[in-house]
Chains A and B, each alone.
Chain A
Amino acid sequence: EAGVAQSPRYKIIEKRQSVAFWCNPISGHATLYWYQQILGQGPKLLIQFQNNGVVDDSQLPKDRFSAERLKGVDSTLKIQPAKLEDSAVYLCASSFGTPSYNEQFFGPGTRLTVL
């Protein structure tokens, strides 16, 4: 079974530029998550989708971050404009069905450096 795919793996941009990340979850997984992991810390949930609907985006900085999952499969996360403090690894995860008791599987992540 193929795992969660993410691209790009690395991205370097200057502050105030825009950037987008892509995630393809495990086939059949209805729930998709985006996490931000700052160096030396645990991942922090940014947004959770159930199929193509948003379940939880309470920690997403909506003035600059946006995410979509239009067809309930792939998802994109965008930052516009980027700030220095956005430098982090962005992890996508997916789980089967509803979140309750379902294990999350993580992708390899996208390492973003904002200069």
Chain B
Amino acid sequence: ELKVEQNPLFLSMQEGKNYTIYCNYSTTSDRLYWYRQDPGKSLESLFVLLSNGAVKQEGRLMASLDTKARLSTLHITAAVHDLSATYFCAVAGYGGSQGNLIFGKGTKLSVKP
């Protein structure tokens, strides 16, 4: 059974600081997604990572994937208040359940001035 663990679950940062959110998953998968969710809103897709060693960057966010370690990271550089949200990683089921995304519990990020 595919399980996805994120840590930390809560993160309070000061503006201008760097930090990393970790996403570990338990079984083989060939796709990993990062989503952002603002309070009361739906999920916004940030990154899709499809291969080992994949790295994608958008603004102050950078995501990477290590399929051998079953680990993805979301790195935040020089945080700003606008990045405050909950971030989810989701891993695609393998084989017959390819459409089934298994989500982590989310990391609630709060960026303070």
Contacts and interface: CB of A to CB of B under 8 A. Distances in A.
Interface of A: 31, 33, 40-45, 48, 55-56, 91, 95, 98-101, 103-109
Contact of A48 (B45, B48, B99): B99
Nearest to B45: A103
**Binding site of A, secondary structure by majority: helix, strand, loop or mixed?**
loop
Contact of A105 (B41, B45, B50, B98): B45
Interface residues of B, number: 23
A44 B33 CA distance: 15
Contact of A104 (B50, B97, B101, B105): B101
Contacts, number: 55
B31 A33 contact: no
Contacts of A55: 99
Interface in B72-113: 88, 90, 92, 97-101, 103-106
A91 B99 CA distance: 15
Contacts of A107: 42
Contacts of B100: 45, 48, 56, 99
25 contacts: A31-B99, A33-B99, A40-B105, A41-B105, A41-B106, A42-B103, A42-B104, A43-B43, A43-B88, A43-B103, A44-B103, A45-B100, A45-B101, A48-B100, A95-B99, A99-B92, A99-B99, A100-B98, A101-B31, A103-B45, A104-B33, A106-B35, A106-B42, A106-B43, A106-B44
